A and B are shown apart, each in its own frame.
Chain A
Amino acid sequence: MRRAALATGAVVVLGWPWAAPRYFVFLASLIVINAIVAIGLNLLSGYTNQLSFGHAGFLAIGAYAAAILTIRAPALPVPAALLAAGLVTAAVGFALGVPCLRLEGLYLAMATLAFGFVVVEAILNLDWLTRGNDGLHVPVGHLGPWALATDTARYYLVVAVAALLIVAARNISRTRTGRALLALRESEVAAQASGVHLAAYKTLAFVVSAFYTGVAGGLFALVVGFLSPDSFDVFLSVDFVAMIIVGGLGSIFGSVAGAAVITTLNDSLAGFQNYRPLIFGAILVASMLFMPGGIASALRKIPLPALARTPGAVRPHEPSRIPRQGDDA
């Protein structure tokens, strides 16, 4: 059952460029890029309960890093540029994660929100590097002898990178590190008592999350081809948070599903400019009222559980460390 579902999924994903019109190939690339960000954010929020409203900032750093590298060093192969984007962003994630260790809940949310604003201001002011408000044209990337000049080529690049990162994320939860993170999620105190270094692992989660988002940013630069600071505003960060909550906290499948739902909604409602936020908001409210815990946990309740079962996903009706409304502080 599970194998069959996975195989069907793989066939659909790989065959998509031949079945769908060009624009939808581009849209699918965006969905996959957002899914990478959502997985990265979920590694942070789903595992260590640190909700970040600043991931658009990380995405911007990755995107600009990849774009500037590709402009200054046109011979650089795409994987190297993506890796560099991820590493630069991870370094920023480390610098932000260490002071943020002291913050919890709302305070962390506000500090990361502020980080997002500061990144956009920095892009505007460093115009010798980023060309500020004029925006930055990203040259076509090269992978060995091939130029990634078509939407289909870029789509396959995005899918390949995403597949790699998804496998890595799944495997993280089976390693010593992953088990430490899972233990932290269930109870910080119990985990610390068992010898898990709280500060080290929380920082690590920040760094890994930033790395994922940075790589996604590099892909974003290649796929969209034009960067300007207003593509990375606060609302994008909020969209990322919506993706993981609508999809399901702590679940990789949920991250992908949430990214697909939110990105498709945003795009398909673009025609109804006036009513767009009204419909979008109504869907957010309804989905949370009738599907608390997100898509992943809703799927887990119907008798076909094979699809959604990710190792270590948060099960909403079992005790977990996520505080419920009405709990005493």
Chain B
Amino acid sequence: MTTAALVHVVVSGLATGSIYALMAISLVIIYNATRTLNFAQGEMLMLSTFVGWTALQVLNLPLVVALLVAVVAAALLGWILERVVIRHAISATHFDVLIITLGLSLMLRSAAGVAWTHDEFPFPSFFSNRPLAVGPVRVAPVSLGIIGAALVLMLALAALFRWTRLGRAMRAVAQNQRAARLMGISVERVYSSSWILASVVGAVAGVLIAPVVFLSSKMGLVAINGFTAAVLGGFGSMPGAVVGGMLLGVLENLAPLYLPASIKHSVPFLVMITILIVRPGGLLGRVAQRKV
């Protein structure tokens, strides 16, 4: 294994990892606001990407506009789901809400299958496929593009959480809902905003990944890796989600090179079990201390 080839594998691992990180971030956004694990996240991504693709195919719009269409569709979808379904389950237990999002994910996947069939469709990319040669190292522009776009989005999110009123409100709700409400923050509005924001992040991830994995109703399964990434990093922590996603992406790409084919599929899970046993709160997470 030459260094150049190794760099290539690591770069494409980081690209996959950025997608996992974006998925993990959108899961964490919703979890921090509503303490809900959203099983439908992957299907929301898939559905918004399909809407963008339809804009591309049927209306012949340019790719940038299709991305915008996907983002708007995602925002609408997130808002509707939260407003119409999740909000009404507000008195239910976490376990009940878990089953609700599970039901939603089944419904969305099936609805996409009915609307667009369960086939796989090619999706155009912003980036060219011709490998770029940097000295002896060859990297795919797609990988670099995905990493770059994901990083820009992550920085934008970090800025939003740090400096805007909405971001502060979301952080306050994540810390202590009752106190946030007493400070005059509309917790309901934070719920809506979180679902919209998470859905939009998912749509961007969907448009970035669709050229690589093809567009299909099964695309939402990428959310499982998003869960793994978020748990690896420590659920609830944004930097943790990014670290967990990158780690998972690189491991997944490196494992087949060094390990027998028979156990390579188990690698992400074995890594996760090991990390959780050593650090039960994930890499950057804390184990919640509960007062009596």
Residues of A within 8 A of B (CB): 45, 51, 99, 102-104, 106-107, 109-111, 113-115, 117-118, 121, 124-125, 187, 189-190, 238, 241-242, 245-246, 249, 274-278, 280-285, 288-289, 292-293, 316, 322-329
Contact = CB atoms under 8 A, between A and B. Distances in A.
Given A99-B277, A322-B95, 20 more contacts: A106-B231, A107-B276, A111-B276, A113-B269, A114-B270, A114-B273, A121-B263, A125-B262, A187-B292, A245-B99, A280-B103, A281-B103, A285-B107, A288-B103, A292-B92, A292-B93, A322-B93, A325-B34, A326-B187, A327-B35
Contacts of B111: 278
A110 B106 contact: no
Interface of B is mostly: helix
Contacts of B235: 106-107
B100 A121 contact: no
Given A102-B277, A324-B93, A118 B266 contact: yes
Contact of B102 (A107, A115, A238, A276): A238
B91 A328 contact: no
A118 B268 CA distance: 10
Interface string B140-163: 000000000000000000000000
Interface of B: 34-37, 85, 88-100, 102-107, 109-111, 113-114, 176-178, 187, 227-228, 231, 235, 262-263, 265-266, 268-270, 272-273, 276-277, 280-282, 287-288, 290, 292
B67 to A, nearest CB: 28
Nearest to B279: A102
A277 B110 contact: yes
Contacts of B34: 325-326
Contacts of A111: 272-273, 276
A125 B263 contact: yes
A277 B88 CA distance: 22
Given A245-B99, A249-B95, A281 B265 contact: no
B35 A103 contact: no
A124 B264 CA distance: 12
Contacts of A327: 35, 177
Contacts of A241: 98-99
Given A246-B99, A285-B100, A326-B35, A278 B106 contact: yes
A325 B263 contact: no
A326 B272 contact: no
A238 B105 CA distance: 12
Contacts of B263: 121, 125
A117 B227 CA distance: 14
A276 B37 contact: no
Contacts of A124: 262
B92 A325 contact: yes
A173 B175 CA distance: 37
A238 B98 CA distance: 11
Contacts of B265: 117, 121
Nearest to A314: B93
Q: Considering residues B85, B89, B99, B109, which has the most beta carbons from chain A within 10 angstroms of its beta carbon?
A: B99
B8 to A, nearest CB: 27
A293 B93 CA distance: 8
A267 B124 CA distance: 40
Contacts of B113: 274
B106 A118 contact: no
Q: Considering residues A107, A283, A293, A324, which has the most beta carbons from chain B within 10 angstroms of its beta carbon?
A: A107
11 contacts: A99-B277, A103-B280, A114-B270, A280-B103, A285-B85, A288-B97, A288-B99, A292-B89, A324-B93, A325-B90, A326-B34
A121 B265 CA distance: 8
A124 B262 CA distance: 8
Nearest to B261: A125
A114 B114 contact: no
A323 B93 contact: yes
Given A121-B263, A281-B103, A325-B35, A288 B89 contact: yes
A107 B93 contact: no
A243 B262 CA distance: 33
A325 B177 CA distance: 11
Contacts of A274: 110, 113-114
